[in-house]
A and B are shown apart, each in its own frame.
Chain A
């Protein structure tokens, strides 16, 4: 594997006034993928779980930060911990389950036992170890930083990473609005839908805030929905390219796609829906309620997407292989009909067998194929380039089909990837 030179990295994103281009090497080279792990996934904040996944002491979940296997858990004192899923004795995998509840992680190889928070608690037949053997060094390797915002739990391998709220920056206000949709309650994730595709993870990341593609990739779904009255009442698209709505890009790398239309699908009794809308008005006022109800979806750099009623984790596996875990969101105190509706809605649209998602992933696989073409060295992300509204804090705004959030993503990507062995502050 060739080591990638810094000049090569710096030349991948070509940010000019007349065109914004990205080198296709970013999608097709394994060396770039490995460097992304090192300089992005192990240096910044990465989503570990939603708080509702580890509610009781002893609850744990197996996940990955980049390609590193990590167990995130809640301890008896209510703290959240994350450790590497690797026994410090001889490197065995401690836990083979996806999730569960346990007081101790016991290694299947020689029975060493650890608290899920990492502390070594027992070595079978310990007397054979030398007197000076340092057990304290044999705690499980920990993810040094854990932090939550709005129920989203993040971890970082970088002990000096900026604090989470600084990292979130401009996307924080969107998370706040998303939280307000619970009308004073809390989100609970339902079991994740899981699907995969044979392509680079960044295809899915870019897709989340891409307002240009739905009229084409999802034409079949929109046409279908229009023919079945009362199935989905929101945002069916008649025109090829939606003309209303916004995109935003933030200096921290996050980006949004906002349809500016209220979200809701059929299947909820009018009285139930009215009660929910009234509650929103009571809590946030007329205008506030309208803002809360208006659709927005966003990417929290690098790989967490927040939709109206689901969150998606984009899990890189290899440079040309990605998995996506899509969690429908339930609201703790909401009427059963509302939760059922949101869950089935997310399922039908963006689940494993979704009327939308299956078409995106076919395009991603096709892109991974085509980007290997000999002379296809660049992709262009120039929609709205000379028409952006640039705010004083660095936020950029464009229309729905502009590539504003894509550019924000790549600028952040380039900044982190060009940082050679230094901590990102």
Chain B
């Protein structure tokens, strides 16, 4: 079963890399949370985060990027998420928790010589993911991405990290 969870994590990474965001959103349970903290010890309903989305807000991001020609994703980002340091715990038959490292490299090319384009940006992060077996399918109920550079300014987070 650990293999199943690992496959889920890798599949999520590939769908995000390929910007197949409709399919990606299907991996998430309706009650899911997507959290990219600034301070990972706070309550994200009471203190700022880079992202704290419920399913609705995630769906809005998907819509804005996939169907609405978002300025900041024209041209779109090219991305590769490298997943490592994978630890999976099976909490029960139907629940699992995973901790892993993610190294995302992102670049918008287009006319790469222009300012704001061409630069390869790196996003190393420690991730936590909780998944539950719902109607025979493993769905993500919580994802947390703790970026190494979360305390300082980040440029260009117009894609789904």
Binding site for B on A (CB under 8 A): 98, 190-199, 217, 219-221, 223-225, 227-228, 231, 320, 323-325, 328, 336, 339-340, 343-344, 347-348, 351-353, 355, 358-359, 361-366, 368-369
Task: Please report the C-alpha to C-alpha distance between residue A361 and residue B72 in the assembled complex, in whole angstroms.
Answer: 8
Are A196 and B155 in contact, CB atoms less than 8 angstroms apart?
Answer: yes
Could you tell me the distance between the alpha carbons of A364 and B69 in the complex, rounded to whole angstroms?
Answer: 18
Q: In the complex, what distance in Å separates the CA atom of A192 from the CA atom of B38?
A: 9
- In the complex, A351→B70 CA distance in Å? 16
Contact: A220 with B49, CB < 8 Å? no
Q: How far is the CB of B44 from chain A (nearest CB, A)?
A: 9
- Give 13 new A-B contacts, CB below 8 A, not counting A221-B68, A228-B59, A324-B153: A191-B39, A191-B48, A196-B154, A217-B71, A227-B63, A343-B46, A351-B51, A353-B50, A358-B157, A361-B72, A365-B115, A366-B116, A368-B116
Chain A proximity of B82: nearest CB distance (Å)? 21
Given A198-B116, A199-B115, A362-B72; A224-B60 close (CB under 8 Å): yes
Q: How many A-B residue pairs have CB under 8 A?
A: 122
Considering the chains assembled together, what is the distance between the CA atoms of A352 and B72 in angstroms?
Answer: 13
Are A359 and B48 touching (Cβ within 8 A)? Answer: no
Tell me which residues across on chain B come within 8 A of A352, comparing CB atoms. 50, 153-154, 157
CB pairs A–B below 8 angstroms (10 shown): A196-B154, A196-B155, A228-B59, A231-B60, A324-B153, A343-B46, A344-B52, A348-B53, A352-B153, A353-B51
Whether the pair B52, A347 counts as a contact (CB closer than 8 A) is yes
How distant is the Cα of A186 from the Cα of B68 in the complex, in angstroms? 39
Whole-angstrom distance between the alpha carbons of A324 and B138 in the complex? Answer: 40
List, in ascending order, chain A residues with CB within 8 A of B63's CB.
224, 227-228
Given contacts A353-B50, A358-B157, contact A220 B64 (CB under 8 A): yes
How many B residues touch the partner, as a band? 35 or more
The verdict on B3 contacting chain A, using a C-beta distance below 8 Å, is no
Distance of A192 Cα from B150 Cα, bound (Å) = 11
A347 touches B49 (CB 8 A): yes
Quick check: is B4 within 8 A (CB to CB) of the other chain?
no
Known: A228-B59, A358-B158, A361-B156. A192 touches B115 (CB 8 A): no
How far is B77's CA from A212's CA once the two chains are assembled, in angstroms?
Answer: 27
- Interface readout for B34-62 with A: 1 if CB under 8 Å, 0 if not? 00101100100111111111001101110
Q: List the interface of chain B (C-beta within 8 A of A).
A: 36, 38-39, 42, 45-53, 56-57, 59-61, 63-64, 68-72, 114-117, 151-158, 161
CA distance A364 to B61 in the complex (A): 22
Within 8 Å CB of A339, what residues of B?
46
Report if A191-B69 is in contact (Cβ < 8 Å); known contacts: A323-B153, A361-B155. no
Query: In the complex the two chains form, what is the Cα distance from A351 to B36 in whole Å?
Result: 12
A353 to B48, CA, bound (A): 12
CB nearest neighbor in A for B65? A220
> Do the beta carbons of B115 and A366 come within 8 Å of each other?
yes
Give Cα A324–Cα B42 distance, bound, in whole angstroms.
22
Which B residues are CB-close (under 8 A) to A336?
46
How far apart are B161's CB and chain A's nearest CB, in angstroms?
7
Q: Cβ of B154 and Cβ of A194 under 8 Å apart?
A: yes
Bound complex: CA of A227 vs CA of B50, how far in Å? 24
Closest CB-CB distance, A133 to chain B, in whole Å? 40
Identity of the chain A residue whose Cβ is nearest the Cβ of B152 in the assembled complex: A194
Would you give the shortest CB distance from A157 to chain B, in whole angstroms?
24
Shortest distance in angstroms between A320's beta carbon and chain B's nearest beta carbon? 8
CB of B40, distance to nearest CB on chain A (Å): 12
Nearest CB in chain B: distance from A357 CB, A: 9
* A366 and B114 form a contact (CB under 8 A): yes
Contacting pair A219 B68 (CB below 8 A): yes
Q: Evaluate contact between B64 and A224: CB separation under 8 angstroms.
A: yes
A-B interface, 3 closest residue pairs, ranked by CB to CB distance from nearest? A365-B116, A220-B68, A358-B158
B116 near A197 with CB under 8 A, answer yes
Complex Cα distance, B72 from A366, in Å, reads 11
How near does chain A come to B148, taking the closest CB pair, in angstroms? 14
A33 smallest CB distance to B (angstroms): 16
